[in-house]
Amino acid sequence: MIFPDSFSRYANGWGSWILLSATGLVLLRKFQSWYRLRHFKGPFIASLTRLWLVRCITGGRMHLDFQEVNQKYGTLARVGPNDLITSDPAVMRRMSAVRSTYRRSEWYIGVRFNPGRDNIVSVRDEDQHNKLRSMMAAGYSGKENEDLEGTVDRNIQALIKLIRDKYLSTDLVNKPMDFGRKSQYFTLDVISDVSYRQPFGYMATDSDMYNYISVVESVFVAALMVTIYPWLNKILGLSIFKSALPSDQDPMGLGKILGITNKVVAERFGPNKKVQRDMLGSFVSHGLTQEEAESGMFIQITAGSDTTATAIRTTMLHLLTHAHVMSKLRTEISNTQISSPIRESEARQMPYLQAIIKEGLRMFPPVVGLMSKEVPPDGDVINNKFVPGGTKIGFGAYGIFRDKEAWGQDSETFRPERWLEVSPEKLKEMEATLELVFGYGRYQCLGKTLAMMELNKIFVELLRNFDFNIVNPLSPVRSVCFGIFFQSEMWLTAYERKE
């Protein structure tokens, strides 16, 4: 018989043993995790816990955090228990090449807008990914999209009209506008117009319709947590949490855009289906199911509008803060025989404009999330170091595009001339690296054609019509980074251009 005091000592003994065993098991696993990638340097805390990554993605400056890691610890550095980040463009191309044995990591689970449904960005099965790309490529390229260039032109003219009608300043009256918001109104209307001949109407209403932009900015950090902890996706898929996710019945936010998209997609299926030569029409004609078309349209609207808007905003900001660059661009516009509106083929023949676009993308790559790829099961050898199979290697965008060895000692400076003064061989190398802005190989962004068309036109048309000033030079824009950039309060004044 065990008396109470004896039982207490007995229980306490077992409790202490269990606690010590559990602690020992945790420490053993931590040691094993650290030991596995011990030959890669990085912040020590990052080798033990993903909390370092959590701090990065919630801090609003993850692009700079990752750049600093690569600068301090090398082109392949450790940022998590099973995570490396590279600032070596050769490694990025190696992982994404068509015949590469690397695969998308669990990071991509975090870019599912519906926990139970993949899209072209999130799908990890290579056969399924290749199948979706082949069915969607023609629609994105514009080959089956009637009047793609005209659609972009119409929306640029809508932006010019909005500025002229509502925000034109004079010597007597200042009418500041938030160009950060206006540029995203423009890209949202372009992407919806190109997708299904129905612009959302952001520029017509001059408003954040359905509070879409503000809702995305408020929830994006939480959504990004799934890229760090993929198991959260399964929790979000439980019925008790589904009410918190966007629904096509929502009157505002992401759900409202989802509802509009699903309604338009539904019209293209069924016995009385609507047939149009637009991006959605191309998807349908190439065999996408209704569910695949819904996911495909939604991801391209949400992802395509933010990223292109960032490229427009940041390149414009660099133009406005570099008077000599602006002057040279205006001279090129004036001295080149171009149409009104400018044709993309004409824009491609303007060397300084092309240098500005390239330099703008280099200085501020719009997508800087990890987008990790998974090392094949047998492992790999990179820079004479063995990388175990299953390790995740992420994209160190700022480290790649600000590297002094690749771009020169003035790599932190906006200088378009760097694209014009190099040898053909060096230019080819620089352009190959810049391509990583849009991904590479089998993971290259399908929306590149449309994004480049917008960039080739927007600056010429805006500068033909207006002179712009920055309202607050000491704080020209509010910019935070959560893998993509959220930018607003870019207050500009616009004056009618007088030649």
Position 21 confidence tier, pLDDT thresholds 50, 70, 90: low
What is the pLDDT, as a whole number, of residue 219?
84
Instruction: For residue 179, give the nearest of 298, 273, 277, 310 by alpha carbon.
Output: 310
pLDDT at 425: 97
Q: What are phi and psi of 30, to 5 degrees?
A: -65, -40
Cα–Cα dist 263/208, whole Å:
20
User: Which one, of 31, 34, 62, 29, lies nearest residue 482 by Cα?
Assistant: 62
pLDDT of residue 93: 96
Q: How does 455-473 read in b/e, with b if 16+ C-beta sit within 10 Å?
A: bbbbbbbbbbbbebebbee
Per-residue DSSP letter, 231: T
Q: For residue 3, what pLDDT is reported? A: 54
Predicted confidence (pLDDT) per residue in 353-364, tens digit: 999 999 999 999
**The pLDDT of residue 464 is above 80:** yes
Average pLDDT for 136-151: 88
Question: pLDDT-based confidence at 4, cuts 50/70/90?
Answer: low
What share of the chain has pLDDT > 70, as a percent? Answer: 91
Q: How far apart are CA 175 and CA 491, in angstroms?
A: 10
- 189 in Cβ contact with 143 (< 8 Å): no
Q: How confident is the model at residue 241 (pLDDT cuts 50, 70, 90)?
A: very low
Residue 462 neighbours by CB under 8 Å, 6+ apart: 159, 160, 316, 468
Q: CA-CA distance, 341 to 336, in Å (whole number)?
A: 13
**How high is the pLDDT of residue 29?**
63
Does residue 17 have a pLDDT over 80?
no
User: In this model, does residue 10 exceed pLDDT 60?
Assistant: no
Given this model, what pLDDT does residue 35 score?
A: 81
What's the whole-number average pLDDT of the chain?
91
The rounded distance, in Å, linking the Cα atoms of 98 and 442 is: 5
246 falls in which pLDDT band (50, 70, 90)?
A: confident
Bridge partners of 103, per DSSP, are 374
On the question of pLDDT at 328 being above 50, the answer is yes
DSSP code at position 278: S
Q: Distance (Å, rounded) from C-alpha 36 to C-alpha 38?
A: 6
The pTM of the whole model exceeds 0.85? yes
Q: Residue 390's CB: how many other CB atoms inside 10 A?
A: 13
Using alpha carbons only, give the angle 137, 140, 141 rounded to the nearest 5 degrees.
Answer: 80
**The dihedral sign for the CA sequence 128, 134, 140, 141:** positive
Q: How confident is the model over 276-298, as a mean pLDDT?
A: 92
Query: What pLDDT, on a 0 to 100 scale, did the predictor assign at position 250?
Result: 84
CB atoms within 10 A of CB 200: 22
What b/e string do you get for 406-424 counting C-beta neighbours within 10 Å, with b at 16 or more? bbeeebeebbbebbeeeee
Between residues 433 and 31, which one has the greater pLDDT? 433
User: Residue 11: is its pLDDT beyond 60?
Assistant: no
pLDDT at 175: 98
Residue 14's pLDDT is 62
- Tell me how many degrees the CA angle 410-414-420 measures, rounded to the nearest 5: 85
Average pLDDT over residues 362-375: 96
Backbone angles phi, psi at 387, to 5 degrees: -110, 115
Burial of 377 (0-12, 13-18, 19+ CB in 10 A): exposed
N-terminal to C-terminal alpha carbon distance within the chain: 104
User: Which residue's entry shows tokens 């500041």?
Assistant: 176
Distance (Å, whole) CA 136 – CA 282? 7
346 sits in which H/E element: helix 344-347
Tell me the mean pLDDT in the region 37-64: 95
Average pLDDT on 181-199 reads 95
d(CA 95, CA 105): 11
Q: What is the mean pLDDT of residues 365-380?
A: 96
The mean-pLDDT minimum among 11-20, 35-44, 270-279, 426-435 falls in: 11-20
Helix (H), strand (E) at residue 385: strand 385-387
Q: What is the DSSP string of 17-36?
A: HHHHHHHHHHHHHHHHHHHH
According to the annotation, is 445 in a ligand binding site? yes
Q: Tell me the C-alpha to C-alpha distance, in Å, between residue 263 and each of 189, 245, 279.
A: 17, 19, 16
Average pLDDT over residues 382-409: 96
Q: Report, in this order, helix, strand and coil percent for the chain, each rounded to 5.
A: 60, 10, 30
250 or 173, greater pLDDT = 173
Strands of the sheet containing 83-86, edge to edge, are 76-80, 83-86, 392-395, 373-374, 103-104
Answer whether residue 412 shows pLDDT above 60: yes
For 422-447, what is the mean pLDDT?
A: 95
- Tell me the helices (H) and strands (E) count for the chain, helix number first: 21, 13
Model confidence at 168, pLDDT cuts 50, 70, 90, reads very high
Q: How far apart are CA 16 and CA 133, in angstroms?
A: 57
Residue ranges of alpha helices (H) inside 117-178 are 126-141, 148-166
Kindly write down the DSSP assignment for every residue of 443-474, as one continuous string.
G--TTHHHHHHHHHHHHHHHHHHEEEEES-TT
Query: What 3-state class would DSSP assign to 147?
Result: coil
Both structure tokens of 265: 């997609």
- Taking domain 37-496, whether its CATH number is 1.10.1740.10 is answered by no
Answer yes or no: is pLDDT of 255 > 80. yes
Structure tokens at 422: 């190099």
Higher pLDDT, 31 or 351: 351
